[in-house]
Amino acid sequence: MTNKIKLAVFDLDGTLVNSVCDLADATNKALEELGLPTFETDRYYHFVGNGTRKLCERVLPEELRSDAQIDRLHEMFARNYERCCFNKTRPYDGISELLDTLRERGIRCAVASNKPDSFSCRIVKHFFGDTFDLVVGKREGVPTKPDPAVIQYIMTALGFTADETVIIGDSDVDIITARNTGTRSIGCVWGFRGEAELRNAGCTNIANVPTDIAAIIDRLNKTEN
């Protein structure tokens, strides 16, 4: 028998908030400062997802992808993003209502992001106040998703097992993370990557709009117990 879901762990970018424009602006400004080519915002949907350092690696010309150059670009990106991270970023329609519904039903909520921890906590606090029980971004020495470490930390801190947890995200990174952790998953098609990537990663619980997430959790709790 599978335990009922009691903990929902959300990805941040592309799941709770649409942040691609601010991420693109901060990165493009850093590239401009280095005299390097910039990219259209749409290209950033596939540059993001594995942390901001990986983002900086992906946008650099291949011949410049040394650790030193990636670190330099990442430092410049971080300074820019500090100033612009709220310029265009907004929660997706229906997310706040979804979170209210889940909390009313006694489901605890957390955030696990590959974005640096300071930015993750700041953005969640700005848009959602104290809605989430725990917010964890990329921390020094802790591997990023799809490694299960961050989810295991959240589950331990809040006192839940993998059987009681569902991971909710918009990319294959989140679905693979759920598989690596032994949790169930829900894929969000409104995010950065789309339904095809989620299904190709093995996701079978697809949410077309945020309200679908509550309905999927209800179904899982009724049919799998």
Query: In angstroms, what CA-CA distances link 54 with 51, 67, 71, 113, 133?
Result: 5, 11, 10, 13, 28
Within the chain, all domains assigned CATH 3.40.50.1000 are found at 7-18+91-223
- Among 11, 13, 25, 170, which one carries the catalytic annotation? 11
Q: pLDDT by residue (tens digit) across 151-160?
A: 999 999 999 9
Within the chain, all domains assigned CATH 1.10.150 are found at 20-84
Q: pLDDT by residue (tens digit) across 198-221?
A: 999 999 999 999 999 999 999 999
Superfamily of domain 7-18+91-223: HAD superfamily/HAD-like (3.40.50.1000)
The low-confidence residues of the chain, meaning pLDDT below 70, are: 1-2, 224-225
> Could you tell me the fold of the domain covering 20-84?
DNA polymerase; domain 1 (1.10.150)
Q: Is 11 a catalytic residue?
A: yes
pTM to 2 decimal places = 0.94
